[in-house]
Every structure is written in C-alpha cells, then in structure tokens.
Amino acid sequence: MKVKLRYFASIREAVGQGTETLETLAPTLADLRDQLIARGGGYSDSLARGKSVRVALNQVMVDESVAVTDGAEIGFFPPVTGG
C-alpha cells in the first residue's frame, strides 16, 4: 500500500525532508516506524525506540498499534514543550 509520511520539527530536520510517499507492507504504525528506523541515519536517530514520538493517522493522534491503511497520511511528531 502507498502512504504519505509527514515529519515535523526535529524529526524533519534529522531525516532531511518534510514529506515523502512510501510503499509499505507494514500492518501497523509500530511496524512502519520500525521499517523507517531500519533505514538508519536520521531515521534511526530520530524515531528510535525509547524516544518519545507521537504519531497521527489522517490528522488524528493515535496509538502505534493502529493499522496502516492504503492512502493514509501519517505524521511523526517529537515531544514538544510550551509555556
């Protein structure tokens, strides 16, 4: 299936792009994250397990156990603070 990935803030800086389209067989968002981590470089640094990363599916924040669907837009967000 084909999905559109969007990276925000420090993750965008680490991977060197804000968006990309990806063909994947990953059944869940957790599996998709692992697929991206396996690319190495900025992907593994910014999306590594143990790092706090939020995920959105079609602009709704969800748990990584949610299924990936064809044509979905998936966003990866680093933790943010405000004041």
DSSP secondary structure of 50-61:
TS--EEEETTEE
Domain ranges of the chain: 2-77
Is residue 80 exposed (0-12), middle (13-18) or buried (19+ Cβ within 10 Å)?
Answer: exposed
Residue at token pair 């389209």 = 21
Sign of the CA dihedral 1, 13, 31, 41?
positive
Place of tokens 């706090």: 52
Kindly report, residue by residue over 51-82, the tens digit of the pLDDT: 999 999 999 999 999 999 999 999 999 987 66
pTM of the model: 0.93
CATH fourth-level superfamily of 2-77: Beta-grasp domain (3.10.20.30)
pLDDT in tens, 18-33: 999 999 999 999 999 9
